[in-house]
Structure 1
Amino acid sequence: MSVLVIGDIGVVDGMMHVGDEAMFEAAVGELRARGVPAVGVSSAPEESAARYGIGTVARLGFAGLGRDDAAARSALLTAAASGETTLAAGDPAGPVLAALRESDGVLVAGGGNLASRWRVHVHERATLAAMARGLGLPVVVSGQTLGPDLAAPDAGAVAGLLGGAVRAAVREPTSARLAAAWGLDVRCGVDDASFLGAVEPPAGPAGIVVSLSGWLGGCPPAATEASLARLVERAAGIVGGPLRFHAHFGPLDPAAGPRGDAALHERVRELLTVPSEVVPTVDPRHSALLARGAGLLLTSRYHPAVFAAPAGVPTLGLVTDDYTGIKLRGALGHWGEPVTAPLGELDECAPDLVKRLDAARSRVADEAAGRLARHRRDFSAWWDEVAAVFRRPW
Structure 2
Amino acid sequence: MRLVVIGDVGVVDGMMHIGDEAMFEALCDEMRARGAEIVAVSSAPEETAARYGIDAIGRIDFDLLSRTDAEARLDGIDAALGGAVSTDDRIRTMIAEIRSADAVIIAGAGNLASTWPTHIYERVAMSRIAQSLGRPLIVTGQTLGPELNERDRELVGEIVQNAALVGVRETTSQALSSVLGAPARLGVDDASFLAWDDTELPSKPSGVLISLSLHLGGADRVETTTRIAALADAAAGLTGEPVRFHAHFGALENVTPRGDALLHDEIRDRMRSASEVLPTGTPREAALAARSAALLITGRYHPAVFAAPAGVPVLGLVTDEYTRIKQRGALAHWGQSSTVALAAADTDGIPVLEALWEQRESVAQSAAQAVTAARVESASWWTQIAESVAKTPKN
* TM interval, short-chain normalised: over 0.9
Q: Where does residue 94 of structure 2 map in the other structure?
A: 96
Give the equivalent residue in structure 1 for 2:164. 166
Residues 173-196 of structure 1, C-alpha deviations (whole Å, 9 max, x = no match): 111111222232111110000000
Counterpart contact for 1:205–1:241, Cα < 8 Å: no
Taking the aligned partners of 1:105 and 1:24, their CA distance within structure 2 comes to: 16
Residue number in structure 2 paired with 1:208: 208
Partner of 1:92: helix, strand, or coil?
A: helix
Cα distance, 1:83 vs structure 2: 4.7
Within 5 Å, which residues of 2 pair with 1:232-381?
232-255=232-255, 257-381=256-380
**Residue of structure 2 in register with 1:56 after alignment:** 56
Q: Give the secondary-structure state (helix, strand or coil) at the position aligned to 1:117.
A: coil
How far the C-alpha of 1:78 sits from its partner, in A, is 3.1
Query: 1:61 deviation in Å?
Result: 2.5
Q: How does 1:23-34 map to 2 (within 5 A)?
A: 23-34=23-34
**Aligned equivalents of 1:224, 1:201: Cα separation in 2:** 33
Q: Per the alignment, in what secondary structure is the counterpart of residue 353 of structure 2? A: helix
Shift of 1:31: 0.5
Residue 9 (str. 1) matches residue 9 (str. 2): yes
Cα RMSD of the aligned pairs, angstroms, is 1.3
Structure 2 portions without partners, runs of 5+: none
Aligned to 1:46: 46
CA distance in 1, matches of 2:213, 2:202: 25
- Secondary structure at 2:39 match in 1: strand
Structure 2 letter corresponding to 1:67: R
Measure how far apart 1:337 and its partner are. Answer: 2.8
Contact 2:108–2:140 (8 Å) recurs in 1: yes
| Secondary structure of the structure 2 residue equivalent to 1:250 | strand
Distance in structure 2 (CA, Å) of the matches to 1:86 and 1:27:
34
Deviation at 1:349, TM superposition (A): 1.4
| Letter in structure 1 aligned against 2:105 | L
For residue 313 of structure 1, give the secondary structure of its aligned residue in structure 2: coil
State how far apart, in whole Å, the 2-side matches of 1:174 and 1:114 are. Answer: 13
Question: Which of 112, 115, 121 is equivalent to 1:114?
Answer: 112
Q: Which amino acid aligns with 1:19?
A: G
1:352 deviation in Å?
A: 1.1
- Structure 1's 112 and 99: CA in aligned 2 closer, same or farther, altered over 3 A? closer
Mind listing any 5+ residue stretches in structure 1 that lack a counterpart?
A: none
1:110 partner amino acid = G
Q: What is the TM-score normalised by the length of structure 1?
A: 0.97
Is the 8 Å Cα contact of residues 58 and 93 (structure 1) preserved in structure 2? no
| Partner Cα separation in structure 2 for residue 251 and residue 377 of structure 1 | 35
Q: Which moved more, 1:92-101 or 1:315-324?
A: 92-101
Q: Between 3-12 and 92-101, report the one with greater CA deviation.
A: 92-101
Structure 2 CA distance, aligned partners of 1:2 and 1:55? 11
Q: Please report how far the alpha carbon of residue 143 of structure 1 lies from its aligned counterpart in structure 2 after TM superposition.
A: 1.1
Identical columns (%): 49
Rounded Cα–Cα distance in structure 2 between residues aligned with 1:112 and 1:6: 9
SS in 1 for 2:115: helix
Superimposed CA distance per residue, residues 240-295 of structure 1 (whole angstroms, 9 cap, x where no aligned partner): 2221000000100122x111111000000011121111001111000000000000
Do the aligned residues in 2 keep the contact of 1:296 with 1:314 (CA within 8 Å)?
yes
Alignment of 1:73-84 (within 5 A): 73-80=73-80, 82-84=81-83
Residue 68 of structure 1 deviates from its aligned partner by 1.7
Distance 1:79 1:197 in 2: 43
Note if 1:389 corresponds to 2:391: no
| SS of residue matched to 1:169 | strand
Question: 1:95 Cα shift?
Answer: 2.2
Give 1:150's aligned amino acid: L
In the TM superposition, structure 1's runs of 4+ consecutive aligned residues that sit over 3 Å from their partners are 199-205
In the alignment, the residues of structure 2 paired with residue 97 and residue 116 of structure 1 have an alpha-carbon distance, to the nearest angstrom, of 26
Using the alignment, how far apart are the partners of 2:28 and 2:336 within structure 1?
31
Distance 1:351 1:141 in 2: 38
Letter in 1 for 2:106: V
Amino acid paired to 1:165 = A
Which amino acid is 2:56 matched to? T
CA distance in 2, matches of 1:347, 1:242: 19
3-state DSSP of counterpart to 1:116: coil
Q: Distance in 1 between matches of 2:155 and 2:4?
A: 20
Q: Is the 8 A contact 1:112 1:146 kept in 2?
A: no
Q: What is aligned with 1:181?
A: 179
**Partner SS state of residue 347, structure 1:** coil
Q: Say if 2:43 and 2:58, in contact at 8 Å, map to a contact too.
A: yes
* Residue from 126, 129, 132 that aligns with 1:128: 126
What is the CA-CA distance between 1:204 and the residue it aligns to? 6.2
